[in-house]
Structure formats: structure tokens, C-alpha cells
């Protein structure tokens, strides 16, 4: 995963782009009918049930739009929320509050949905060593916040992007001329370029698991679309020589079954690409 510094930079880029996209040359609706000197107060009202996420991000947005805005936090990221909860109050310039409103809501609604979905997975895995991972199947330009929401929900982040981990998947393997060649070339490439990156290799069958185990330097084997029976067999074959990850078709209905097979991780794109935004609103008080 990327450093905290890099993550903070990515989030600032998201804020800058979101305000640029939404406000542009100015919020003419507010400019037209609300005096510049007018002040007010608004509350973040919860109209759903799940895990709250995005409070810290909201504070950053308000600060970016107008550093004089004051945020009174009543609920923090990761708290369980229910209907009619109030997450925070924000007070100050009415124009500034309205300028930040949609960016805050868009982010918090999606982040809370992702955190809630992740929490459902992590709750199922309680008592097992298996951890739930996200993927790169994220909304373009919004990845940092979606991955942050996964952590808030109790999950773990997979690689952030193409640059912070090597994942040799089916196309890499086929284009490279096979598993062994792909691994050997990768180990040499990392050494030549003095890169300290973990290597994950995808296996599509038990025979490919055996071939991967013949090479050194592999951090984790990704068992893609394996049956429960083959997953158990693969875990036995690997026998702690490296970490194991199940992926492909992981759902709330079968996640526990994969955990029972003994894998270290399961990854699911559904955490970020198959959620419905939560119902939150910012209301004047």
C-alpha cells in the first residue's frame, strides 16, 4: 500500500478536482440570493443504517473551501449509524457551506456504502485468520477514498495501483511465455531497477500452483476462481511457503466457505464496484 503521505496527496487532488468540477467559476445559485456576509449552520443528517465513513474527508473539504468554517463532530468514521443520527454540524459562511455541500455528500454517501459492505464481509470472517481485501476495481479519480472506506469498514487494502506491487495475472503470464518465465523476468527486473516490491502470482489451476512454487521470490499466490475443494488442496500444497489469496466470485454467501479453506486473504471487487450510495443529507438548522 502507498504511504500515508502519498494517500494524503491523492485525497487533496480529489478535493481540488471535485470543487473545480462542481463549482467552476462560481456557485451562482448561492451568489444570487445569499449575501456574502450571511452565516448559518447545517447538520449532516443520516437517513440510512450502516457504517459511517467520510467524516474526516468532509472536514478537509470544508477547510479547503473556507478555513473559517467550524465543524462540530458528533460521530466519527467507523461508527455504526442509524436513521436520524446527526454526524456533525458545520457553521460559518452560508455560501461556503453550500459550495462544499455536494462534494461532501457525494463522497460520504459512497464511502459509507463501501464501509458498510466491507463491514459485512469482515464480520463474516471473525474467528478466521482470513482478511478481506479490496481490488483496483474502483471509480476513476476516487480510488483513495474508496480504499480508505474499505479500511474504515474493517478490511485491508490490496495494492493501491500498478506501481506499488507486482501482480502477474493471466495475461502477463501468457504474454511472457509462461509462469516460470514471468516470475524470473520479474525478479530480474526488480533487482536491476532496485525496486522493493512484493510479487503476487495468479494461479488458474493446481498444476499452476505447483509451477509457481518452483520459483523463489513469490510473496502471495492468488487462487483465481478455484472451487472450495481445489482451494483446500492448494493451501495444503503451498503449506506456508507464501501467502494465499482467493479471488473471483467472492460474495457474502461464500466468503466464509473460502475462509474455512485456510486462505490468508480473500479479495472482492464487489466492495467498491457493487454498492448503492447511502442516504445522507446536509440540512440547514
Catalytic residues: 102, 137, 169, 202, 224
Task: Output the CA–CA distances (angstroms, integers) from residue 228 to 13, 30, 124, 180, 252, in the order listed.
Answer: 42, 57, 17, 26, 15
163 three-class SS: coil
User: Treating both helix axes as pointing N-terminal to C-terminal, what angle do 4-23 and 55-65 enclose, rounded to 10 degrees?
Assistant: 60
The torsion angle over the Cα atoms of residues 66, 86, 13 and 273, rounded to 10 degrees, is: -160
Q: Are 266 and 259 in contact (CB under 8 A)?
A: yes
Beta strands in 147-211 (DSSP E): 166-168, 199-203
Task: Output the CA–CA distances (angstroms, integers) from residue 278 to 16, 101, 107, 139, in the order listed.
Answer: 23, 15, 10, 16
Amino acid at each position: 500500500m502507498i504511504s500515508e503521505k502519498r494517500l494524503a496527496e491523492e485525497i487533496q487532488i480529489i478535493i481540488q478536482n471535485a470543487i473545480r468540477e462542481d463549482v467552476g467559476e462560481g456557485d451562482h445559485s448561492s451568489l444570487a440570493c445569499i449575501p456574502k456576509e450571511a452565516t448559518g449552520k447545517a447538520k449532516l443528517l443520516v437517513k440510512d443504517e450502516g457504517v459511517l465513513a467520510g467524516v474526516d474527508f468532509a472536514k478537509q473539504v470544508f477547510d479547503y473551501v473556507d478555513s473559517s468554517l467550524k465543524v462540530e463532530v458528533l460521530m466519527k468514521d467507523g461508527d455504526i449509524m442509524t436513521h436520524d443520527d446527526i454526524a456533525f454540524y458545520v457553521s460559518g459562511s452560508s455560501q461556503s457551506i453550500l459550495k462544499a455541500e455536494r462534494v461532501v455528500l457525494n463522497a460520504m454517501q459512497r464511502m459509507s456504502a463501501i464501509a458498510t459492505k466491507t463491514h459485512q464481509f469482515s464480520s463474516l470472517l471473525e474467528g478466521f485468520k482470513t482478511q478481506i481485501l479490496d481490488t483496483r476495481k474502483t471509480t476513476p479519480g476516487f480510488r483513495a477514498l474508496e480504499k480508505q472506506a474499505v479500511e474504515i469498514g474493517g478490511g485491508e487494502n490490496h495494492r493501491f495501483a500498478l506501481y506499488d506491487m507486482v501482480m502477474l495475472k493471466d495475461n502477463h503470464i501468457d504474454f511472457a511465455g509462461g509462469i516460470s518465465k514471468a516470475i524470473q523476468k520479474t525478479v530480474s527486473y526488480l533487482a536491476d531497477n532496485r525496486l522493493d516490491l512484493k510479487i503476487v502470482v495468479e494461479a488458474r489451476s493446481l498444476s499452476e500452483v505447483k509451477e509457481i512454487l518452483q520459483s523463489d521470490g513469490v510473496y502471495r499466490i492468488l487462487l483465481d476462481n478455484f472451487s472450495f475443494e481445489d482451494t483446500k488442496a492448494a493451501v495444503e500444497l503451498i503449506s506456508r511457503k507464501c501467502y494465499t489469496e482467493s479471488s473471483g466470485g467472492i460474495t457474502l454467501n461464500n466468503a466464509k466457505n473460502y475462509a474455512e479453506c485456510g486462505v490468508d486473504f480473500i479479495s472482492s471487487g464487489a466492495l467498491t464496484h457493487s454498492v448503492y450510495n447511502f442516504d445522507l443529507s446536509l440540512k440547514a438548522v
